[in-house]
Structure 1
Amino acid sequence: MKQEQFVQGRRPAWELLRRLLDQLEKPSRRREAAPLEQLPELYRQVCADYALARHRSYSSALVDELHGLTLRGHRQLYRRKSLWWWRAVRFVRSEFPRTLRRNARLFWLASALFYLPAVVMGGLCYHDGDFIYTVMSSKQVSRMEYMYDPANSKLGRSQARESSTDVQMFGYYVWNNIGIGFRTFASGIVFGLGPLLLLLFNGVTIGSVAGHLTQLGFLGTFWPFVAGHSAFELTAICISGTAGLMLARALLAPGRRSRAEALRAEAHEAVKLVMGAALMLLVAACIEAFWSGDGAIAPPVKFAAAALLWLAVILYLSLAGRDQDGA
């Protein structure tokens, strides 16, 4: 590529970075509001352009210009340690929910694959106390019954984990839940078979346990325990499934792109969903470890809190970042 073509194509980004740096270098009393979230990406682009200009032996004036921009950008970027915090806030505030809404159809498909088997199996296990043994072994069923038995002083914990502290249980929940979410996402590379099976499996398992324990009369232990963290945990599982189905879509219906190109594009979006789901699972683990098993909190309080959390999750995913949807 000739230098003139290179400059013509890249000049707008350089000028955008230059204007941003001009604002950031002004005294604070004269500084206008600057879009700090653009600084890292513009800086990376100019660094790449500077390296390319040197490699292609473009004019010394152009190389010096780009060198000056990279130095200015480096000073501002590494002076502003809070910039990364603001990028994280921006991701949570708008980027994550907007990405999910852009892929709403796959999210509803993932939700159907999870919730429909859960409802069906829950009803079957509720009406037939032995039906759960078609899904789980007798040892697994006994373990679940023990965890939510009203006589158990440590609700939600198996015999092997009764001595664990709340902090240890938090670590266990984080490891377990995020592992489920990541496997559901990563298995999408197997042309969608992985997310399909994992969503069905988790739906069947959770529904079966809920129906069986309800049939046993453990209403005052099981439902108050799971209600609090369910909004974050169950929604995050469906979001992880959505990310996995996005990978499958790239492989099964790449359109005019090659499968590799489609997979790169979808993976860029899907990773955002996985990151958001991981944050939701982190919140769920915190609630499960420090709130759900606390017997001192009355069930009506737990149910009221659960209703508010479900409402908050629905409103957040539906409305957050709406002001930027057209951007």
Structure 2
Amino acid sequence: MKQSQFERLHQADWQRFETLLEALEHGKRKTPASETFAADYRRICQHLALAQERGYSSLLIDPLQQLAMRGHQQFYRHRSQLTAQVLAFILAGFPRLVRAQWRFVLVSALLFFGSLIGMGLLVYFFPDLVYSVVTPEQVTEMEGMYDPAAHRLGQAAARGANEDWMMFGYYIMNNIGIAFQTFASGLLFGLGSLFFLFFNGLMIGAVAGHLSGVGFGQTFWSFAIGHGAFELTAIALAGAAGLKLGWSLLAPGPLPRSEALRLAAKTSVQLICGVMLFLLIAAFIEAYWSSMNTLQAQTKYLVGAGLWALVVLYLTLAGRTRHAPD
């Protein structure tokens, strides 16, 4: 293709990209065309490579190089700003959001942890109650997973340490499934979230109470205490996000229900983003730390207590300082 034809074919793209660059360089981050910036930047780089390969004149190559260099600066500036925004959300935005939604968080936590502790105590003192929520087959499986003689704790069968990454992926998918179920069911006017919070609390409590009663308490609690700080908190926060959705449908105020739901969803989705982070951390700890059977229980208890303290301090104190990032 001749240079003149190449220029006529793509001149409009280059002019549009230069206009977009000027807007971005002057701080206008939300122009309509900015959504296609990455694709436009890659196209400019492709055109530059073609021009150089075909030996076109420097009168064409030099301006394209300038556009590519300016695009490169804006592209990585945008990526660095995105990274800064993510860090700001993790360090300050998420805990602030949790505190702002404290009413839903409180209701969710009371229901989830209340049912967990209550069922655990009932099963511990009345062992046969475990079969009201857990099948005999599941009870047998749980006993095998937390038998002190097990090679790796919390797993249905012994496996090598080189498979920890497989369990890491399994824990992520399983935990996210539970959290999303608890969150999304809030669309049923909050009843779904209430049900799953109560149900999961009963299930976990029944297992904990039974294993404690049959003498496997030390292996179970030393396994659960570490990742439980993030996993159980995440389930409660997912429930709070679901209750936020349900309340917007039950009490939309002066707004139409669709608009109230839309506004509530913005907050709830942000909560779920933080929940995903917690579940990722929980899965990592569960796969690589909790399942280890070579550490003393006291060590796991100390680390677990530290992780619970860290979660509590993070959610209650992070982002309170005046100069914390927004």
TM interval, shorter chain, is: 0.7 to 0.9
Q: Please, which of 67, 75, 79 is the counterpart of residue 78 of structure 1?
A: 75
- Which residue is 1:192 aligned to? 190
1:151 Cα deviation from its structure 2 partner: 2.1
CA distance in 1, matches of 2:76, 2:303: 42
CA distance in 2, matches of 1:288, 1:317: 21
- Which residue is 1:259 aligned to? 257
After the TM superposition, which residues 122-133 of structure 1 pair with which residues of structure 2 at under 5 Å, given as runs?
122-133=120-131
CA distance in 2, matches of 1:176, 1:110: 20
Aligned 8 A contact 1:21 1:76 in 2: no
CA distance in 2, matches of 1:292, 1:217: 19
1:177 Cα deviation from its structure 2 partner: 0.4
Aligned 8 A contact 1:43 1:74 in 2: no
CA distance in 2, matches of 1:216, 1:315: 34
Q: Please, which of 132, 155, 158 is the counterpart of residue 156 of structure 2?
A: 158
Q: Please, which of 32, 49, 66 is the counterpart of residue 47 of structure 1?
A: 32
After the TM superposition, which residues 276-287 of structure 1 pair with which residues of structure 2 at under 5 Å, given as runs?
276-287=274-285
- Which residue is 1:67 aligned to? none
Aligned pair 1:315/2:313, yes or no?
yes
Q: Judging changes above 3 Å, is the alpha-carbon distance between structure 1 residues 145 and 271 closer, same or farther for their aligned structure 2 residues?
A: same
After the TM superposition, which residues 174-185 of structure 1 pair with which residues of structure 2 at under 5 Å, given as runs?
174-185=172-183
- Which residue is 1:90 aligned to? 88
CA distance in 2, matches of 1:227, 1:298: 13
Q: CA RMSD in A?
A: 2.6
5+ residue gaps in structure 2? 1-21, 35-69
Give the alignment's TM-score, normalised by structure 2: 0.77
1:20 Cα deviation from its structure 2 partner: 9.7
CA distance in 2, matches of 1:21, 1:311: 44
Aligned 8 A contact 2:212 2:218 in 1: no
- Which residue is 2:165 aligned to? 167
1:154 Cα deviation from its structure 2 partner: 2.1
Instruction: Name the aligned partner's letter for residue 206 of structure 1.
Output: I
5+ residue gaps in structure 1? 1-17, 23-38, 50-72
Q: Judging changes above 3 Å, is the alpha-carbon distance between structure 1 residues 315 and 247 closer, same or farther for their aligned structure 2 residues?
A: same
- Which residue is 2:211 aligned to? 213
After the TM superposition, which residues 10-25 of structure 1 pair with which residues of structure 2 at under 5 Å, given as runs?
none
CA distance in 2, matches of 1:230, 1:257: 39
- Which residue is 1:292 aligned to? 290
1:74 Cα deviation from its structure 2 partner: 7.2
CA distance in 2, matches of 1:186, 1:120: 26
CA distance in 2, matches of 1:264, 1:74: 35
CA distance in 1, matches of 2:25, 2:93: 24
- Give percent identity, aligned residues only: 45
1:287 Cα deviation from its structure 2 partner: 0.3
Larger radius of gyration: 2
Instruction: Name the aligned partner's letter for residue 78 of structure 1.
Output: F
Number of aligned residues: 270
Give the alignment's TM-score, normalised by structure 1: 0.77
Q: Judging changes above 3 Å, is the alpha-carbon distance between structure 1 residues 74 and 227 closer, same or farther for their aligned structure 2 residues?
A: same
Runs of 4+ aligned structure 1 residues displaced above 2 Å come to 18-22, 46-49, 73-77, 161-164
Aligned pair 1:140/2:138, yes or no?
yes
1:284 Cα deviation from its structure 2 partner: 0.3
CA distance in 2, matches of 1:154, 1:138: 22
